[in-house]
Structure 1
Amino acid sequence: MRRTLANIYRLGVKELWGLWRDPAMLVLIVFMFGFSVYSAARAMPETLHRAPIAIVDEDASPLSLRIASAFYPPQFMPPAAVAQSEVDAGMDAGIYTFALIIPPGFQRDVLAGRAPALQLAVDATRMTQAFNGAGAIQQIVLTEVAAFVQRYRGTAAPAPVELVLRSRFNQTLDKGWFGTMTQLINHVTMVSILLCGAALIREREHGTIEHLLAMPVTPTEIMLAKVWSMGLVVLVAVAASLQGVIRGLVGVPVEGSVALFLLTTALHLFATTAMGIFMATVTRSMPQFALLIILVLLPLQMLSGGSTPRESMPELVRDLMLAAPTTHFTMAGQAILFRGAGLSVVWPQLAALGTIGAVFFAVALRRFRRTIGQMA
């Protein structure tokens, strides 16, 4: 047993030195767990942030001025006062996403109860921002018109029912919180599969796998060395990203236990690193491995519940994805990081990750033995 552990340790150290001499992989790890995680919080396209808007005020009344002054950062840029003839040219050039046209006599018609119409031109090529912005502009205009007609904001008759909103786990409704943590969870799967698979393919291309076969080591020791070394690299990168990027740069408060999340990540890495080795034994070169990663990662990430709630998926898809480690890792990761869940809540996901990891490791080990047996 002592000799086996020593072999696994030394082979793992060899893998770490091999990764250290691969600058492309090091840059990829820093990029994925650094810039990519940060950009997910600061570049969420569905967030209405500094949207450019133009206002054509043909009424020039106190009500139209009040509406124009209601648009301000950070949701909108300060409105640009333009003429009717400048709207089409500005939207064609992509200068304005929205153009609100207030017709002449608008205030007079409102006070007379004639329900005048406003025109809102929207650049629909910016789909998400256009959808959210159109609703926000409609709400702003209706609110300002109602307040102007009532003369005072507090004179409206009380509603028969009052709905009190309590936002839990994300009190400011900042979508960047969700984006940055989801990006981190997704990158764990991709980077771990890539590192383990690339390590095996690199040894095959350089001919070092034949040298290992001539040494007194077993396929199990070789595979365990790759699993613990590459898993450790990803685990350290996750901890650094969680502390330095998510907490430090983005300022997202992590509700749950970081240690419990790292434990969950370690169990997930046990499955994904084995998956990477299995995929590397199926392919013969790095380009083939890269193509296979695309085919595997897309359904794993899209159907895991990170981007779309599992409840909105077909029942057959939900049942099939229970065999994927990403489903349980996403559920446990979101529960810990978003809602501060403890071990009593996420233990079913941890048990599922351990079971799936053991199955994946056994299947990958069998395939790995067969592959190196053919090489010998």
Structure 2
Amino acid sequence: MFERLRAMLIKEFIQVFRDPRMRIVLFVLPALQTIIFGYAVNMDVKNIPTAIFDRDNSSESRELAAIMASSGYFRIVKHIGSDDEARKLLDRGTVRLVLGFEHGFSEKLRGGETAPLQALLDGSDSNTAGVVMGYLARLATEYNGRLQSAYLSRLAGQTPRIGRVELASRAWFNPNLESPPFYVPAVITNILFVITMLLSSMAIVREKEIGTIEQVIVTPIRKGEFILGKTLPFVLIGYIDVFLISAVGALVFDTPVRGSLWLLFLATTLFLMSSLGIGLLISTVSHTQQQAMMSAFFIIFPAMLLSGFAFPIENMPEPAQWLTLLNPLRYYMVIIRGIFMKGVGFGIIWPQLAALAGIGVVVLLVAVARFKKTVG
């Protein structure tokens, strides 16, 4: 019995390890995924892109802005001069927070009054917005304590009227900081990527396994037509999935699409070019469906983590942030959240659309070229 079992085990190990690609999938890829996950999974909220709208332009307002910047939580990226500029920055996602100092901010503090500090937050990411509000409240409290100490030391023996900063925060796009408006668009992105990529990664390799690829090659059908015929059904499935999840989100979770449906259709088409192209590329380099599935999952999980789905990209180390630039999920996530929650138009999200188009064209061309080398 043990000899037979031993022989069977040896046979299975030889069968698994004789393929160099399988050895890479089993040992190299898990190590790479561990490194990527370790950098990408970061629950800390730091380096929050922040704009300053300082109408007061006083030493007190500049001091408080400097305290915010030196805390490590906020990164001042721009000083602005109008409400319209603040709206555009929040719409584009360039900043997550706009701090506003009204005229008379310093005078109220010096006169012992309450000086409001206005904070406009991007509420599309409810988790981050909640954490940011907590940071702001704590820093405002610390600043009030510093004011009190400074006035008391300056006016020893007297009872001065001490001003204080009062935080007045408002979350745009998601005033109640609810989770469904943030997660429903992300669910659409992830499900669409997983389904279309897995299906397309099996498309050609399945023909190889059952031996029908040679029969297809000798037919009059062109290779481009063959790939188009393989991918179009998955494109239609992707559109149906987007429609179904959007309908469920609107009816069950009250997260309707606030932007243009045609723009959503365009963005989905460009995203499908990328996901199907990656799947086809995997299918052309894989010999078995098992290899194709394992390779697809190796790409799927890092792509999700590096998309900004749950962890803000600005919190990741700089090498990981550069890596996200190659990730189509990153761009589609920004687009679909903007359309769902902010109702943004083409003028706001055209950079993400252009990036998706570029990635999709390149990946599809590489997949087609690889397919020709494989079967030609």
Letter matched to residue 217 of structure 2: L
CA gap 1:232/1:165 in 2 versus in 1, 3 angstroms: same
> 1:30-71: CA deviations, max 9, x gaps?
xxxxxxxxxxxxxxxx9xxxxxxxxxxxxxxxxxxxxxxxxx
Deviations, residues 277-320 of structure 1 (Å, cap 9, x unaligned)? 11012222222222111211111110112221111112222122
Task: Kindly provide the amino acid, as one letter, of the partner of residue 350 in structure 2.
Answer: W
User: Which of 304, 309, 316 lines up with 2:319 in the alignment?
Assistant: 316
Which position in structure 2 is the counterpart of 1:365?
368
What displacement does 1:250 show?
Answer: 2.0
Asked if the contact 2:306–2:327 (Cα under 8 Å) also holds between the matched residues in 1, the reply is no
Distance 1:323 1:258 in 2: 26
Partners of 2:309 and 2:163 lie apart in 1 by: 38
Deviation at 1:159, TM superposition (A): 8.3
2:231 & 2:348 partners in 1: Cα distance?
Answer: 28
Matched, 1:283 2:283: no
1:230 aligns with 234
In the TM superposition, what whole-angstrom CA distance separates every residue of 1:258-293 from its partner, at most 9, and x where no partner exists? 221121011010111011011012222222222111
Unaligned runs of 5+ in 2: 1-42, 44-126, 135-161
Classify 1:159/1:260 alpha carbon distance in 2 versus 1 (closer, same or farther; 3 Å). Answer: farther
Alpha-carbon distance in 2 for matches of 1:357, 1:224: 14
Indicate the SS of the match to 2:334: helix
- How far, CA to CA, are the matches of 2:375 and 2:209 in structure 1? 13
Match of 1:102 in 2: none
Q: What is the rounded CA distance, in whole Å, between the counterparts of 1:248 and 1:207 in structure 2?
A: 46
In structure 2, the residue matched to 1:221 is 225
Higher strand share: 2
Q: 183, 187, 193: which one pairs with 1:189?
A: 193
For the residues of structure 2 that align with 1:179 and 1:333, how far apart are their CA atoms? 11
The aligned residue for residue 199 of structure 1 is 203
Q: TM-score, normalised by structure 2?
A: 0.55
Match of 1:306 in 2: 309
The residue type equivalent to 2:203 in the other structure is: A
Contact 1:227/1:270 (8 A) holds in 2:
no
Paired residues for 1:152-301 under 5 Å:
160-243=164-247, 245-301=248-304
Asked whether the 8 Å contact 1:239–1:262 carries over to 2, the reply is: no
Query: What is the CA RMSD across the aligned residues, in angstroms?
Result: 2.4
How far is the alpha carbon of 1:227 from its aligned partner? 2.5
> Contact 2:201 / 2:293 at 8 angstroms: preserved in 1?
no
Mapped partners of 2:234, 2:203: distance in 1: 9
* Distance in 2, Cα, partners of 1:220 & 1:206: 21
Give the 3-state SS of the residue equivalent to 2:325 in structure 1: helix
- Give the conservation status (yes or no) of the 8 Å contact 1:247–1:254: yes
TM-score (normalizing by structure 1): 0.55
Deviation at 1:192, TM superposition (A): 1.0
1 CA distance for matches of 2:207 and 2:220?
17
Shift of 1:253: 2.8
Identical aligned pairs, as a percentage?
Answer: 32
Gaps spanning 5+ residues in structure 1: where?
Answer: 1-45, 47-127, 136-157
Q: What letter corresponds to residue 205 of structure 1 in structure 2?
A: E
Contact 1:274 / 1:360 at 8 angstroms: preserved in 2? yes
